[in-house]
């Protein structure tokens, strides 16, 4: 039997604690222990980006991150972006801009985009392409996705002005 270890972290602003298998990935713990299935497992080897989450504001592949290493840290996932039923601006532009097809890559794409816009509020198209380069959309809907992120950035700067 795998050794259980206690883990306490902030998940989308909520204080959560659980006993988890030592050595379990953050992806597995989020999905199986914390009931947040918004990060997806597409490859479990760090190549597809479907499991992307933010750990203390930094973009991480949760399939390659040990849950134990996230003790006391703040985790953000797509499931926590909408506040009181109001979509986050990135969710809104993905919805309005037809930036999702099968949807499996969408939560990871949105978190990768959030990591970009949190650091770089006015990105160039090249910045967006670079920021999403670790996230595979096999339906190949990249153009609407890139355009959606640029639209979110424009809306941001408009609101700030």
Determine which residue in the list 5, 18, 32, 127 makes contact with another protein, applying CB under 8 A.
32
Is residue 134 within the footprint of another protein (CB under 8 A)?
A: no
The stretch among 54-62, 74-82, 121-129, 150-158 that binds another protein (CB under 8 A) is 74-82
Residue among 115, 133, 128, 135 nearest 154 (CA): 128
Structure tokens at 39: 């990060």
Cα dist from 147 to 10, 43, 76, 116, 151, whole Å: 31, 26, 23, 14, 6
Does position 34 interact with another protein (CB under 8 A)? The reply is no
How are beta strands 4-11 and 74-76 bridged, if at all?
parallel
Residues binding another protein: what is the number (CB under 8 A)?
A: 42
The residue range among 34-42, 65-73, 123-131, 153-161 that interacts with another protein, by the rule CB under 8 A, is: 34-42
Non-local (6+) Cβ contacts of 138 within 8 A are: 102, 105
Stretch that binds another protein, among 99-107, 114-122, 126-134, 149-157 (CB under 8 A): 99-107
Residue 112 binds to another protein (criterion: CB under 8 A)? no
Q: How far, in Å, CA of 30 to CA of 144, rounded?
A: 29
- 16/42 with CB nearer another protein: 42
Q: What is the DSSP letter of 98?
A: T
Q: Applying CB under 8 A, which residues contact another protein?
A: 1-2, 21, 31-32, 35-45, 47-48, 50, 77-79, 81-82, 87, 91, 94-96, 98, 100, 102-107, 110, 136-139
């Amino acid at each position: 039997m795998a050794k259980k270890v206690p883990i306490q972290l902030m998940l989308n602003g909520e204080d959560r604690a659980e006993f988890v298998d030592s050595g379990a990935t953050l992806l597995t713990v989020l999905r199986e222990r914390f009931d947040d299935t918004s990060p997806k497992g597409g490859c479990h080897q760090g190549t597809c980006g479907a499991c992307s989450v933010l750990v203390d504001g930094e973009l991480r592949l949760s399939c390659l991150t040990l849950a134990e290493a996230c003790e006391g840290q703040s985790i953000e996932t797509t499931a926590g972006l909408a506040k009181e039923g109001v979509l986050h601006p990135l969710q809104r532009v993905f919805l309005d801009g037809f930036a999702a097809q099968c949807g499996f890559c969408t939560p990871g794409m949105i978190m990768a985009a959030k990591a970009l816009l949190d650091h770089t509020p006015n990105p160039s198209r090249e910045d967006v392409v670079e920021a999403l380069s670790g996230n595979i959309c096999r339906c190949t809907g990249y153009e609407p996705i890139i355009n959606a992120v640029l639209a979110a950035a424009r809306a941001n700067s408009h609101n700030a002005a």
